[in-house]
Amino acid sequence: MRKLLSGLTFAAAALAPAVALAHPGHAHDGGAGFVHGFLHPITGLDHILAMVTVGILAYQIGGRALWLVPTTFMAVMAAGGLLGVAGVSFYFVEPGIAASVVVLGIIVALALKPPVALAMALVALFAVFHGYAHGIEVPLDGSAGAYGAGFLMATALLHAAGVAFGMLVGRLSAAQGPIGYRLAGSAVALTGLVILTRAVV
């Protein structure tokens, strides 16, 4: 767990300069940009559920997935953020985010353990939507670099929380069967369906 937290924190620090290149300057208001970026993922239920569930999935698969799956999400999310900052047109963002909640919830509910490469590809696909949604929210009068560091740090913490929750669910499942994963994943998937319905209606 400590190794995962260190890895996610390192990833956040390493990826932040890439975001900064998209919109340099404004160092004087970097603090506000960081706070704004940090709050963006944790004030949206769809982002919270997806990122925490990525952590649960990483724990569920185990092994290298414990750090490869979350860091893949963060890396691709940063790239998606750059697309948003650059003003690149991107479609179906909200449905894509909602779909990520549904699909990840179903995988957890079924206690599936896909190959690490497949899990990485799947979370990468969803991370583009989440990153783009973050990128288009960069304050015009703020530092994009600080903002990017903020949402990457929040994401890392949400992933770590998901891993910790996955550990608790895993212990429950070891004693009671897969009921823990089924309940947690089903709750996430059902919430995602509600979010998806609202996004497409």
Residue 124 lies inside a defined structural domain of this protein: yes
Write down the pLDDT at residue 13.
43
Category of 25 on φ-ψ map: left (φ > 0), alpha (ψ -120 to 50) or beta? left
Write down the pLDDT at residue 125.
97
Write down the pLDDT at residue 179.
83
Write down the pLDDT at residue 51.
97
Range of the domain at 187: 2-8+36-200
What DSSP string describes 30-62? HHHHHHHHHHHHHT-HHHHHHHHHHHHHHHHH-
Write down the pLDDT at residue 67.
95
For residue range 48-74, what is the model confidence (pLDDT) as tens digits? 999 999 999 999 999 999 999 999 999
Residue 22 lies inside a defined structural domain of this protein: no
Q: How many whole angstroms separate alpha carbon 80 and alpha carbon 90?
A: 10
Write down the pLDDT at residue 134.
92
Residue 16 lies inside a defined structural domain of this protein: no
Residue 24 lies inside a defined structural domain of this protein: no
Q: How many whole angstroms separate alpha carbon 57 and alpha carbon 65?
A: 8
Residue 188 lies inside a defined structural domain of this protein: yes
Split into its structural domains, the chain has a count of: 1
Helix (H) or strand (E) segment spanning residue 103: helix 93-109
Residue 104 lies inside a defined structural domain of this protein: yes
Residue 177 lies inside a defined structural domain of this protein: yes
Residue 68 lies inside a defined structural domain of this protein: yes
The closest alpha carbon to 161, from 13, 6, 5, 44, belongs to: 5
Taking 50 as the pLDDT cut, the residues of the chain under it are 1-29
Q: Which residue has the tokens 């304050």?
A: 139
- Which is it for the CA torsion 137, 20, 14, 149, positive or negative? negative
